[in-house]
Amino acid sequence: MPVRVDVRTSANLLGRVLTALAGPLAVLAVVALLYREPVAPFVVPAAGSLAAGVGLSRLERDDPGPREAFLLVALAWLSIALVGAVPFLVAGVGTLADPVNAVFESMSGITTTGATVVGSFEIHARSILLWRSVLQWLGGLGILVLAVGVLSGLSVSGAQLMETETQNQNVTKLTPRIARTARLLGGIYAGLTGLLVLVLLVLRLVGLAPNMTLYNAVAHALTTVSTAGFSPEAASIGAFSPAVQWVVIVFMLVGATNFVLIYFVLQGDSSRLRESEEFKFYIGVVAFAAVIVAGVLALDGQFATTEETVRHALFNVVSIITTTGYATVDFDTWSTGARHVLFLGMFMGGMAGSTTCSIKTVRWLVVAKTFRRDLFTAIHPTAVVPVRISGGAVDEGTIRDSYVFILASIVLFAALTVFVVADAARAGVEIGEFAAMGAAASTFLNIGPAFGFAGPYGSYEGFPVTTKLVMTVMMWIGRIEIVPVLVLFTPSFWRS
């Protein structure tokens, strides 16, 4: 391990990321051509990204240590957010023509958050709206690679948690296996996305989804499997038929499932999935929340039929807990009980080893099981009892990391809420406490929609510029699990 952080190594690896980013931008240029829309918004950043990437790749590099990996991860997400904002700026249409808005939207994309500053959707080029979806799909891919690859062996990773669940498969241990696993999970990810495009088009063919064009199928497949949530439709998935909504529910749930378990299912071994305590816990939480929301909606007489009540309750609960952030209706108009459960659901997240954001169910499961163990040791102080998940013992370091991560998330969320309300008071922007908490949780935990004017059918455009900048930073911090950014601000990171 080098004695001081080797910036050149991180920069070299960042160069490869930026070089690769030119690819999707070039694809979007072709899409723009096909739609007879301006290509400059994509050609400009593609050229820039390629030039910067090739330049950086020429730097000498060594084997990266933890510090170089943290620096790479932090810089990669930040750089893509900046490059990703260029198409919006060059296009220069509507709210996205503003630099702060453009960077907010791009960061919201690559972090798979889905919080939008778009005011009206119809004024934007289709290629621009598709770029939002592509950014999110790339963000989901990046997280999968991060989970198995770069962060493996670093103390902050979801990798140990993923391993806990996959029981000594050690899929992440050896470098060749890391690359192989990353390719494998990436393949599953791409395959699921393709499958969803197909399913949506079949629904249209059989007459169950009249407005599901190829464009819409692709745009929504990209942001469903990545549990990311951008939609080119102002009404989100509410623009489509009930059949589409049910299909999207299933694919959001799949996108929030541990991809290693999905791999085993594809290998014909579904026992691991069925026996996974985390999977049962995750499905149980979704069901529990959906039952409460459906109950409240039924009490309120919000919908005419039971199917509608169940569908809208389930869809929006799944959308929030899987951190996707789609909506089928404006749930901001629902009553307290329903909205509050959605708010708390933001802190859950899907399984480790999935594309989801937020805290993730395995951490909550670890903490809950540890608490039960602690109640036992409180009365049997000399007993030594391991915490077990799906039969395997969870090591105490992983338990500690789960506590630290959850609490750090909650504290940073709370700090963000203070900034949001204080900055709103300063700028004279009217916002309620719950709306402020919702927007803070939804951006930092990378969900997307919140309540009030930042509701599912609203926009974050109304926040003060300073709040939007801070939220942009918090989306970045939240998506790469806090530590890779925060360590950069400790003096010892830069010292030898």
Under the binding rule (CB under 5 A), the answer on residue 114 touching K ion is yes
What is the x/- site pattern for a copy of itself, positions 391-410, by CB under 8 A?
A: ---------x--xx-xxx-x
Nearer to K ion by Cβ, of 64 and 325: the residue is 325
Under the binding rule (CB under 8 A), the answer on residue 380 touching a copy of itself is yes
d(CA 431, CA 60): 50
| Least Å from the CB of residue 222 to K ion | 13
- Contact partner, 448, from K ion, a copy of itself, none, Cβ < 5-8 Å per class: K ion
Q: Residues near 306 by Cβ (< 8 Å), separated by ≥ 6? A: 298
d(CA 256, CA 264): 16
Under the binding rule (CB under 8 A), the answer on residue 222 touching a copy of itself is no
Under the binding rule (CB under 8 A), the answer on residue 337 touching a copy of itself is yes
Q: Which of residues 425-444 bind a copy of itself (CB under 8 A)?
A: 425-426, 431-434, 436-437
Number of H helices, E strands in the chain: 20, 2
Of the listed pieces 17-25, 155-163, 188-196, 320-328, which binds K ion according to CB under 5 A?
A: 320-328
For the chain, give the longest Cα–Cα distance. Answer: 73
Do residues 279 and 258 make contact, with C-beta atoms less than 8 angstroms apart? Answer: yes
- Contact partner, 487, from K ion, a copy of itself, none, Cβ < 5-8 Å per class: a copy of itself
Of the listed pieces 43-51, 171-179, 267-275, 378-386, which binds a copy of itself according to CB under 8 A?
A: 378-386
DSSP character for 389? E
CA distance between the termini of the chain: 11
Q: Residues near 242 by Cβ (< 8 Å), separated by ≥ 6? A: 307, 311
d(CA 373, CA 451): 37
What is the x/- site pattern for a copy of itself, positions 23-62, by CB under 8 A?
A: ----------------------------------------
Contacting residue, 176, 268, 381, 391, with a copy of itself by CB under 8 A: 381
Number of residues that bind a copy of itself (CB under 8 A): 59
Under the binding rule (CB under 8 A), the answer on residue 377 touching a copy of itself is yes
Do residues 133 and 144 make contact, with C-beta atoms less than 8 angstroms apart? Answer: no
Do residues 39 and 33 make contact, with C-beta atoms less than 8 angstroms apart? Answer: yes
Nearer to a copy of itself by Cβ, of 350 and 484: the residue is 484
Query: H or E stretch including 394?
Result: strand 392-394
- In terms of C-beta density within 10 A (0-12 exposed, 13-18 middle, 19 or more buried), how is residue 235 classed? middle
DSSP alpha helix (H) spans, 380-464: 396-427, 433-444
From 476, 473, 442, select the one nearest 458 (Cα to Cα).
442
From 217, 189, 361, 399, select the one nearest 282 (Cα to Cα).
361
d(CA 236, CA 79): 28
Contacting residue, 41, 149, 229, 458, with K ion by CB under 5 A: 229
- Contact partner, 394, from a copy of itself, K ion, none, Cβ < 5-8 Å per class: none
- Contact partner, 114, from K ion, a copy of itself, none, Cβ < 5-8 Å per class: K ion
Under the binding rule (CB under 8 A), the answer on residue 307 touching a copy of itself is no
Under the binding rule (CB under 8 A), the answer on residue 286 touching a copy of itself is no
Torsion of CA 224, 316, 443, 285, to 10 degrees: -100
Measured between alpha carbons, how far is residue 238 from residues 14, 215, 399 in Å? 39, 17, 40
Q: Which of residues 64-83 bind a copy of itself (CB under 8 A)?
A: 66-67, 70
Under the binding rule (CB under 8 A), the answer on residue 303 touching a copy of itself is no
- Contact partner, 325, from K ion, a copy of itself, none, Cβ < 5-8 Å per class: K ion
Report the interface residues with a copy of itself, using CB under 8 A. 66-67, 70, 154-156, 292, 295-296, 299-300, 335-337, 339-341, 343-344, 347, 367, 370-372, 374-381, 400, 403-404, 406-408, 410, 414, 417-418, 421-422, 424-426, 431-434, 436-437, 483, 486-487, 490, 492-493
Report the interface residues with K ion, using CB under 5 A. 114, 228-229, 323, 325, 448
